[in-house]
């Protein structure tokens, strides 16, 4: 079956512009995670959804970052007024249940964001 | 706070060599521990996991044992193949929350 998909795969934007990154999880998966991964580092947790409920957003670095999952499926991570330090790979992952991160997470290919 | 430290790479081995990638962690309580692998051009995928002390996770010839006394979860494989070339991430999850904490990753190159 289809895995987690993300779009766009690459995004180049100018400083100050807003960007929206999309994640389409595996069908039926309850949990959805967003991560940010800097070059040469491991993924860093941003936020977690249980269906449409955003249950943890403690990893969002500041109020320019927001995420939603309005119908409990597709999710959008929005970065407003982008800055060069926002350049990174943004990864989405989903898991079947809602038992927490000890469940297997399935990762998408990521969106590489470059802010000029 | 919780953290994961893994050995720096790159690690370069010849085919059929023994592999060890060290991972230690700092955590309160009893986290679950994971190894994820990222093959070139692909997303991360779970390699193995262990959810309690002394558990051994294994998959594709890789093994790791959850050692609470040494707060370690070292990854081992007896005989690596060229196809094992990838980046390996050690990670932990706080069983009371939603976060997974990843190490910085260790790149493995296996030469034929």
Query: Of A36-40, A77-81, B60-64, which gets the smallest average pLDDT?
Result: A36-40
Long-range pairs of B59-64 with CB within 8 A, sequence gap ≥ 24: B62/B35, B64/B23, B64/B33, B64/B35
Q: Within an 8 Å CB–CB cutoff, is residue B49 touching chain A?
A: yes
Section A21-26 average pLDDT: 97
Residue from the list B45, B98, B103 with its beta carbon closest to the beta carbon of A107: B45
Asked whether the predicted pLDDT for residue A21 surpasses 60, the reply is: yes
Instruction: Report pLDDT for A60.
Output: 97
What SS3 state is found at A84? helix
Work out the burial of residue A91: count CB atoms within 10 Å of its CB; fewer than 13 is exposed, 13-18 middle, 19 or more buried: buried
pLDDT of residue A97: 85
- Please check whether residue A96 is in contact with residue A102, taking contact to mean a CB–CB distance below 8 angstroms: no
**Of A42, A53, A67, which to mutate for an interface test with B (greatest number of B Cβ within 10 Å)?**
A42
Mean pLDDT across the stretch A70-89? 96
Q: How confident is the model at residue A98 (pLDDT cuts 50, 70, 90)?
A: confident
Report residue A1's pLDDT band, with 50, 70 and 90 as the boundaries. low
d(CA A109, CA A24): 11
pLDDT at A76: 98
Put simply, whether B10 touches A (Cβ < 8 Å) is: no
Q: Hey, how many other C-beta atoms are within 10 angstroms of the C-beta on B87?
A: 19
């Amino acid at each position: 079956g289809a895995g987690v998909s993300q779009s766009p795969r690459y995004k180049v934007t100018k400083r100050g512009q807003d960007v929206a990154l999309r994640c389409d999880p595996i069908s039926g998966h309850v949990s959805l995670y967003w991560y940010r991964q800097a070059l040469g580092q491991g993924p860093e947790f941003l936020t977690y959804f249980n269906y449409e409920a955003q249950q943890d957003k403690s990893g969002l670095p500041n109020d320019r970052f927001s995420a939603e999952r309005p119908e409990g499926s597709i999710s959008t991570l929005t970065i407003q007024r982008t800055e060069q330090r926002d350049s990174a790979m943004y990864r989405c992952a989903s898991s079947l249940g809602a038992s927490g991160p000890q469940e297997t997470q399935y990762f998408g290919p990521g969106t590489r964001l470059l802010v000029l | 706070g919780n953290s994961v430290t893994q050995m720096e790479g790159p690690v370069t081995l010849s085919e059929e060599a023994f592999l060890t990638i060290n991972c230690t962690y700092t955590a309160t309580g009893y986290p679950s521990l994971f190894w994820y692998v990222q093959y070139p051009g692909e997303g991360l995928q779970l390699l193995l996991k262990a959810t309690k002390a002394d558990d051994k996770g294994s998959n594709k010839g890789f093994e790791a044992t959850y050692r609470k006394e040494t707060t370690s979860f070292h990854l081992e494989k007896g005989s690596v193949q060229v196809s094992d070339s990838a980046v390996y991430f050690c990670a932990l999850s706080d069983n009371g929350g939603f976060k997974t904490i990843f190490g910085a990753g260790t790149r493995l190159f296996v030469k034929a």
